[in-house]
Amino acid sequence: MADLLELLKKLETLEAPSAEIDKEIALCFGQLTAGGIVICGGYLGIADFTRDMQCAVRLCADALPGWYWRCGCTPLFPNGWAHVSRHHADHCDRADEASSADGKAANPAIALCIAVVKARIANPSPQPRETAP
Q: Which of 57, 50, 52, 64 is nearest to 22 (CA)?
A: 50
3-state secondary structure of 96: helix
Dihedral sign for Cα atoms in the order 130, 125, 1, 44: negative
pLDDT in tens, 97-112: 545 567 778 899 999 9
Residue 39: C-alpha distances to residues 43, 55, 62, 99 (Å): 6, 9, 11, 28
16 pLDDT higher than 90 = yes
pLDDT category at 84 given cuts 50, 70, 90 is confident
Q: What is the pTM of this model?
A: 0.80
pLDDT of residue 82: 86
